[in-house]
Amino acid sequence: MPQAIIPNKTSLPAGSRDLPSPSNDDAVADDPVTSKVLRMVSENAVIIIGGRGCCMCHVVKRLLQPLGVNPAVYELQDDQEAAVVAGELSKEVVTGFDDGGEVQFPVVFVGGKLLGGLERVMATHISGDLVPILKNAGALWL
């Protein structure tokens, strides 16, 4: 299933790249952390990736739970792991964006597609676009 960034009317430009599948890309497959994260992204309807004990991950999770979503959470264990995952996600997912294509944690994937960070999740929720995105990803059965 191809991966893409979820478009938003106001925030992100239209360019995106597909996430590689861990088995198809030798460089990604050689790094167990990156392949594990990419596999988790593809296997979970909603996943939050962030640092261990990150309060912003908790905020995103608490925002999604009352909507009926129980997101998977992947906690990066240290700065080295965060740098590896951020570098790979930046190369594969957000290349070409105005912010230089750098992933900042926490990052939220919905249906295997990059939704964004806490600000993007909150803005999408406030605008009323979050629930339809979650329904389309199969995270909600309403």
Please give the residue that has the higher pLDDT: either 125 or 54: 125
SS3 content of the chain, % helix, strand, coil (to 5): 45, 15, 45
pLDDT of 71 reads: 93
Residues 3-31 have a mean pLDDT of: 43
Domains parsed from the chain with CATH numbers: 26-137 (3.40.30.10)
Half-sphere exposure of 128 (CA within 13 A, CB side): 0
pLDDT in tens, 27-81: 444 567 778 888 888 889 999 999 888 899 999 999 999 999 999 999 888 888 8
Please give the residue that has the higher pLDDT: either 27 or 11: 27
The DSSP secondary structure of 98-122, one letter per residue, reads TT-S---SSEEEETTEEEESHHHHH
pLDDT of 27 reads: 46
Can you read off the two tokens belonging to residue 14?
Answer: 């239209």
pLDDT of 10 reads: 35
